[in-house]
A = this chain, B = another copy of it.
């Protein structure tokens, strides 16, 4: 019953653009990049596909300090739960796993009587390449 997702040119473009780099980029950024690369995509289409990719867990989303949403491809590679070490200058991000932190968060939540405990953990800094 679930709607099928079609293999359209735009879907491919957006996904390819996202897969291309290990960086967090906003919808507007990707839109600009695609346009600059000569691909006549619509802004709303970019938004729609990014959302879809996020829903399918193929893309991670983080909120920038000023409220914008930034996306990063994160296919099957990161099958499960993980965090990021993000360069606040270029957006480059690498996956981080830390079962000890997962356990810590879970424990803290339970100790205080919370249900459905979840958490967000991101590490920011300026990567070696940007330190120039």
Contact = CB atoms under 8 A, between A and B. Distances in A.
A127 interface: yes
Stoichiometry, as copies per complex, reads: 2
Interface residues of A, number: 35
B112 A117 contact: no
A67 B26 CA distance: 13
30 contacts: A63-B65, A67-B67, A67-B68, A67-B69, A85-B108, A85-B112, A85-B114, A88-B118, A94-B112, A100-B104, A101-B104, A105-B121, A109-B123, A109-B125, A112-B128, A113-B127, A113-B131, A114-B123, A114-B125, A115-B126, A115-B131, A116-B126, A117-B125, A118-B124, A119-B121, A119-B122, A119-B123, A120-B120, A120-B124, A121-B121
